[in-house]
Structure 1
Amino acid sequence: MDEWVDPDEADPAQWRRTGPHDELRRGTETISVVERARRTSLPYQHEIEIHHTDNVADQFQSSEYEHARITYNSSIDTKSRIKLLTRGVLWGGGERHQRFQVQYRRPPPPTETVPFGTYTAWSRYQYGSIEQTDDGVTFAAADEEPGESLRDLDWKSMFDPVQERIAELELVRNPSFAKYRLKEADEWETYQTRFQYDPDVFAMGP
C-alpha cells in the first residue's frame, strides 16, 4: 500500500520532496515560498496536467460543468517575459462540452503593467461532445467553426486555477514585488498556504 502523508503531521521533513537545493537546508527546516521563488533561475518552464473534479463550476465560472482536464504550461524566459499556455476540455452537466486553449502573456521589463494587473489573453475554443474512456477523453467537434478572441484580461477575473499558475510565475519573476502586490490585494496568505508544501511549484521542493 502506498504511504500517504498525514495532513496533521507537524514535522516539515515528512512533507518535503527532494530538490536541487537540498544541500542548502539545515536540519529539518523548510524553505519559505519567497525564497523558493528567488532561487528559481530563468529561463523557467514546467508543465502539469490536472483533472479538476471538485467545485469545477465555481472554479471555472460555470453553472454546470463537472469536469475539467487541463494542461498548464508555465514559463518565464530569460528576458522575464511571462507566458502561460492552457489547453484542455470542459464537460459534464447540461452545458455544451468544449475544448480550448488560452495563452496569457505579460511583457518583459520595462513595462507599464504590474503583477496581478492585466494580461494579454489569446483564446481559441470549440464546442462539441466529449466521451470519457479508460484511456482518457475523446472530443468530437460540432459542425461549427471554432471561436477566437484577443483581449486584455484582469488577473482577478481569471479562473482560479489560472490565477494560481500566474501567481507562481509572478513570484519567480519578482518575488518581493509580487508578494507586496498579493498582500495589497489581501491574497498573500492564500497563496503562501497553497505553495508552502506544494512540490510542483518553483524549481525546488519545500
Structure 2
Amino acid sequence: MDRWVDPDEADPAQWRGTGPYGDLRRGAETVSVLERALRTPLPYQHEVDVHHDDVAEQFQSSDYEHARVVYNSGVDANRRIKLLTRGVLWGGGETHQRFQAQYRRPPPPTETVPFGEYTVWSRYQYGTIERTDNGLTFTENDENPDESLRELDWGTLFDPVQERLAELELVRNPTFGKYRLEELDEWEAYRTRFQYDPGAFAVDP
C-alpha cells in the first residue's frame, strides 16, 4: 500500500517519493559535462567524419550546398591543443573546394586564454568534385592553392570548429574552460550540446 503524504507537506521530495526510475529522473545516473572533462585522461585524441548539409549556417557561405569534413581533435600530454580539419565543399556551382586547416593553442604557461585567439594555418584549393562509385573525386584546377597562417579570434571561427575546440579546452583545463564559457555566456549552450553526446570526451554521459 502506498504511504500517505500530508497534503500540507512542503518538501517536494516527500511528494515524489521513490521508485525504480527515481535516480534517473533526478539525473543521478548522468555524469555531468564538467565531470566527464575532468575524468578524460591526457593525451586525448579522436577523429570524426561529418557530412554537413547546412553549409550556409555552419560555414557562413552561400557558395556551396554540402561539406564533408574530418575533424581530428587532440590535447597532448603538455596540454597543447591541436585541431586538424580536412574536407571538401561542393554544390551550388561548378567550382568546388578542398581544404585543410589546423587550429592551435600553445601549452601552459602561455599568455593566451581559452576562447581567445588561436593560431590557424589553412590551405585551400579550387576544382571540381564528382561523385563516383568510390565516393567523391576532386579534380584540381590550374590555380595554385591558397595558404595562410593567421591569429583568429574565437568569435570568427566556424560553429563546428568552435564546438570541437570547446571540447578540447574543457579537457585541457575543465574548471577554467567552464569559467571562460560562462564569461562569454556560452556555457549553457555547450553544456547542452555535450550533455548526451557519447562522442564527446573519453567518458560516456
TM over 0.5: yes
Q: Partners of 1:95 and 1:156 in 2: how far apart? A: 30
**Residue segments in structure 1 that go unaligned for 5+ positions in a row:** 1-9, 14-26
TM-score, normalisation: structure 2:
0.85
Cα deviation, residue 204, structure 1 = 1.2
Cα distance, 1:203 vs. partner?
A: 0.3
What is the percentage of aligned positions where both structures have the same residue?
72
CA distance in 1, matches of 2:61, 2:180: 28
2-side partners of 1:36 and 1:12: how far apart? 19
1:63 Cα deviation after fit: 1.5
Contact 1:73 1:84 in 2 (8 A): yes
1:59–1:160: 8 Å Cα contact kept in structure 2? yes
Q: CA deviation at 1:201?
A: 0.7
How far residue 11 of structure 1 moved from its aligned partner, in angstroms, is: 9.4
**How far apart in 2 are the matches of 1:31 and 1:133?**
43
Deviations 1:109-142 (A, max 9, x none): 0000000000000001100001123532110001
**What SS does structure 1 have at the residue aligned with 2:99?**
strand
Displaced runs of 4+ in structure 1, greater than 6 A?
Answer: 10-13
Encode CA deviations 1:8-66: one digit per residue, 9 max, x unaligned. xx9997xxxxxxxxxxxxx961100000000000000000000111x211110102311
Aligned counterpart, 2:107: 108
Give the aligned partner of residue 184 of structure 2: 185
The residue aligned with 2:79 is: 80
Could you tell me whether the CA contact under 8 Å between 1:124 and 1:146 is conserved in 2? yes
Distance (Å, rounded) in 2 between the aligned partners of 1:95 and 1:169: 36
**Structure 2 residue ranges without an equivalent (≥5):** 1-20
Contact 1:98 1:126 in 2 (8 A): yes
Give runs of aligned pairs for residues 130-141 of structure 1, distance below 5 A.
Answer: 130-141=129-140
Q: 1:152 to 1:142 in 2, by over 3 A?
A: same
